[in-house]
Amino acid sequence: MALWSGRFTENVSEFTQRFGASLPVDKQLYAQDIAGSKAHARMLGEQGVISKEDVAAIRDGLDRIQERIEAGEFEFDINDEDIHMSIEKALIADIGDAGARLHTGRSRNDQVVTDTHLYAKQRCTDLMQANLALRQALVDLAKEHFDVILPGYTHMQHAQPVFLSHHLLAYVWMLSRDFKRLAAAREAADVNPLGSAALAGTTYPLDRRMTAEELGFSGVTANSLDAVSDRDFLLDLSYACSVSCVHLSRLAEEIVLWSTAEFGFITLSDAFSTGSSIMPQKKNPDFAELIRGKTGRVVGDLVALLVTLKALPLAYNKDLQEDKEGAIDAARTLEDCYTCMTGMVSSMTVNAQAMEQQVGKGYLAATDIADYLVKKGLPFRRAHEVVGHLVLLCEQRGGCRFEDLSLYDFKNECDLFEPDIVDQLDMRFIADARLTEGGTGRSAIREQLKLVEETLVEDGRRI
């Protein structure tokens, strides 16, 4: 029979026992559960609710249980329903009455949410670390290929030349914002709900600040009803994971695209590619695709939790037991995706030549030729039209490049063109001229890199 079975005469059926149990999921929270119980016991002792001898017996007993779990010697029994019952039952079996005093002034409702706050905090920290590692890998790649130029795209059409470093740093900024979201999720979890008891607080003189301190929480929750039913901190974590996964899926998509024969911009290392069981020549970007695919599941975890919480009355309801699996999954999936992406980015080969070759196609100098005319006094709309005609002329000549036109051809469209128009056609010259703050000119990228590296150091300190 369960530890709460006093008012019952019959056991639940085997099926409902399994259906109602959360042990397969929440056993992952054993360390947090034990830490919470140890803090609660010490505080009960300090407040004179239980004896100091009981506190010592409880804390030692819990340490022994932790050792058994970590050594794989603890037998989890589905009949215990959840991790809280498993550990408490084992403690009572070990130390008797002292163990039976542990749950004084506490409910599983504040116990479970305390465990979950601790878990979420830790996972946010792990993810922040993994996020930093990926950003560092992208920055390293950007520095290594600082001068490589490639077409920048809009609508997937060649638009203007950009430096590869600039392109890669765009992802670093996305990830910097993700880091902030993870830090905010950690802050949301950093508050102690223990002492809220079942829903209304308790008559025992609990010192909630004392348990907060032992558990490393910065403060205590202010309303017991809210504390036991709030899962916003898990929403925050799941949202942070979802947005970051969406960012990774965008990068993954470009990696897939860039490794096609059509692009050939990068070659993935063998360690991050797979073959085909039938086509011997294949080298597939499976892991980039998988990262892209995992995004659906992480966003699903967020949506599932949002829907679980919708219309839930105060305070604890068993629905809340559904909170952990998705959040744990979202965090683990994102951490794996960060690790995989870091390895993939650090080991891929950049094919600078293929990128540069593409820069020569698609009239990437068009805007700059128009700007050249503007600088010579032509209104921009007129200049736009002149360059449009030049593009048309190139197309009529079988898709030749601006470089293949003569000065006469240029002058034929507009007599403001001079021999110096040739400079305007150089892709590095064009890209370097974009010196606005945040632009792709190399001196602007150098400034950007300084900012990126400062942010990395600052974020490193926040972990």
Active-site positions? 155, 276
Give the residue with the Cβ less far from ligand ARG, 320 or 427. 320
Minimum CB separation of residue 78 from ligand ARG in Å reads 12
Minimum CB separation of residue 452 from ligand ARG in Å reads 41
Strands (E), 125-204: 149-154, 157-163, 191-192
Binding segment for ligand ARG among 232-240, 317-325, 345-353, 358-366 (CB under 6 A)? Answer: 317-325
239 neighbors 181 (Cβ within 8 angstroms)? yes
Answer yes or no whether residue 273 interacts with ligand ARG by CB under 6 A. no
Minimum CB separation of residue 107 from ligand ARG in Å reads 7
3-state secondary structure of 131: helix
Considering only CA atoms, which of 375, 363, 365, 389 is closest in space to residue 418? 375
Minimum CB separation of residue 193 from ligand ARG in Å reads 12
Q: Which two tokens stand for residue 128?
A: 């922040």
Minimum CB separation of residue 285 from ligand ARG in Å reads 39
Q: Which two tokens stand for residue 50?
A: 């239980």
Question: H or E segment at 45?
Answer: helix 30-46
Give the residue with the Cβ less far from ligand ARG, 7 or 318. 318
Binding segment for ligand ARG among 28-36, 41-49, 316-324, 356-364 (CB under 6 A)? Answer: 316-324
Return d(Cα 417, Cα 279) in angstroms, integer. Answer: 54
Give the residue with the Cβ less far from ligand ARG, 310 or 381. 310
Minimum CB separation of residue 66 from ligand ARG in Å reads 19
Binding mask 10-29 for ligand ARG (x = CB under 6 A): ------------x---x---
Give the residue with the Cβ less far from ligand ARG, 22 or 32. 22
Q: How many residues bind ligand ARG (CB under 6 A)?
A: 10
Give the residue with the Cβ less far from ligand ARG, 16 or 353. 16
Instruction: Count CA within 13 A, CB hemisphere, residue 40.
Output: 29
- The dihedral through the CA atoms of 214, 220, 224, 227 has a sign that is negative
Please report, as a single letter, which amino acid is at residue 105: G
Selected binder of ligand ARG within 185, 320, 366, 370 (CB under 6 A):
320
Binding segment for ligand ARG among 72-80, 162-170, 204-212, 313-321 (CB under 6 A)? Answer: 313-321
Minimum CB separation of residue 79 from ligand ARG in Å reads 14
386 neighbors 377 (Cβ within 8 angstroms)? no
Give the residue with the Cβ less far from ligand ARG, 312 or 422. 312
Give the residue with the Cβ less far from ligand ARG, 82 or 301. 82
DSSP states of 59-127: HHHHHHHHHHHHTT-----GGG-SHHHHHHHHHHHHHTHHHHTTTTT--HHHHHHHHHHHHHHHHHHHH
Site for ligand ARG in 73-112 (CB under 6 A): 82, 108-109, 112
Cis amide leading into 130 (omega within 30): no
CA torsion 392-398-404-408 (nearest 10°) is -50
Beta bridge partners of 153: 158
Contact footprint for ligand ARG (CB under 6 A): 22, 26, 82, 108-109, 112, 316, 318, 320-321
